[in-house]
Amino acid sequence: MADAVDKSGIKEGIVLVNSMHITSNVFINDEESGLKADFLEWLEELAPVGDYRHHATGEDNADAHLKRTIMGREVVVAITKGELDFGPWEQIFYGEFDGQRDKRILIKILGE
């Protein structure tokens, strides 16, 4: 991600990072294994694997849709002096809630 900003030549601006799939997300948090496990447990409590009306369509991933909604779709980060302007522990993460398949991420860098 930092390479994309560096190659853009943008010194002041913003970057938008968007998960382009309905059962995945992009979020900002701390790279810490206990916290990542806590997120997974918390999401499973809020949107457990189970029987949902969505499954009548032939899909069985309603919980993944709900988890994506809880976690959000995209993040926006300031660019200051050509660097992503994060807090001390912040990083961008990609969350996948419906198995491993090809995904797309959109990155838009705006500024001067």
Structure tokens at 59: 């899909």
Domain covering 2-111 assigned CATH 3.40.50.720 in the classification: no
Report residue 24 as tokens: 């995945």
Residue with tokens 């969505």: 54
- The pLDDT assigned to 3 comes to 74
CA distance 94 to 62: 19
Question: Tokens at residue 78, please?
Answer: 């300031």
Taking only the tens place, the pLDDT of each residue in 61-77 is: 999 999 999 999 999 99
Q: pTM score, two decimals?
A: 0.86
- Residue 110 near residue 47 (C-beta atoms within 8 A): no
The parts of the chain modelled with pLDDT lower than 70 are 1, 4, 6
Q: Where are the domains of the chain?
A: 2-111
